[in-house]
Amino acid sequence: MLRIQDVTKTFGKVNAVDSVSLDLSPGVVGLIGHNGAGKSTLMQMLATLTPPTRGRILLDGQDIVAKPELMRHRLGYLPQDFGVYPHLTALEFLQYFAALKGVRDAKRLQHLLELVNLHEQAHRPAAGFSGGMRQRLGIAQALLNDPDVLIVDEPTAGLDPEERLRFRRLLGDLGRKRLVIVSTHIVSDVENMASYLAVLRQGRLVAFESPDAVLRRAEGTVWTALLSPSAYEALREQAAVHVLQAQPLGAQVQVRMAHASRPCAEAEPAQASLEEALMAQRYADARLAA
């Protein structure tokens, strides 16, 4: 559906996005990377908010850089800094955006409020909404035109754990019928809903694979050990060993670490989380580059 061909975006002498190529089809794609990795810049290009310096972006074979309206008619977009008009109710807010998008079906507005579980708050001013409720209202406006492509930038920033879980579940459901691209630096946000992960590092695409493939590749590289404080400090001094997590446990320290082989006698193989698997791969790539 969406093809990204050798896309680069340059600001001055810096390549914010550097020669990225991807083929994306319906499902949830997690766009992963640290702050500054190029995620938001790539998403802004996909949303036709800024053109690439080089490369092409094709939607069903049509060049959206040359004809941005082709994407805009089929796009839903929730930016990271989404704001609401506080004095409008949820329904009035959707009515306003529906008028802007040429959507005249009043039943659709009610359906979207039910979809995002805001139908009981339809007549409440948005000023009293929690962060999660505002994000759900943002998703409702992004779905007004029943888009084929939904782009969501850092959707759970500032949400409490319950709202984050609810929001992830909603995005996963939406990905059954359309392409949903979720940009985040919080790996757990996409761990259980993404079909594929696109990992950006310093503007470059370093991986595009399923979460299962990432976890399989990490087998044998993540370890756990219960160490004395002195043994833990000695372990930290080993440049090749990367501590992923350390938790005091009585007089000892429970350590999870990344290393290509057993890093110490006390270490036992551990089942990696997706975040740990990505970190282990990053450390491995850094060692190879060195």
Answer yes or no: are the C-beta atoms of 54 and 7 closer than 8 Å: yes
The whole-number pLDDT of residue 191 equals 85
Domains of the chain from N-terminus onward: 2-209 (3.40.50.300), 216-289 (no CATH)
Secondary structure (3-state) at 261: coil
Res 283: pLDDT = 85
Tens-digit pLDDT profile for residues 250-274: 999 999 999 989 999 999 999 999 9
pLDDT value of position 36: 87
Residue ranges of the chain with per-residue pLDDT less than 70: 288-290
Picking from 270, 264, 269, 266, the residue whose alpha carbon sits closest to that of residue 235 is: 264
Cα angle, residue 34 at apex, residues 236 and 191 outer, rounded to 5°: 90
Question: What per-residue confidence (pLDDT) applies to 197?
Answer: 96
Q: What is the pLDDT of residue 142?
A: 92
Q: Is the pTM of this model over 0.95?
A: no
User: What pLDDT was estimated at residue 188?
Assistant: 84
Q: What is the pLDDT of residue 166?
A: 83
Q: What's the rounded Cα separation, in Å, for the pair 13 and 245? A: 37
Between CA 58 and CA 221 the distance in angstroms is 38
Instruction: Quote the CA–CA distance of 157 and 162 in Å, as a whole number.
Output: 13
pLDDT at 34: 87
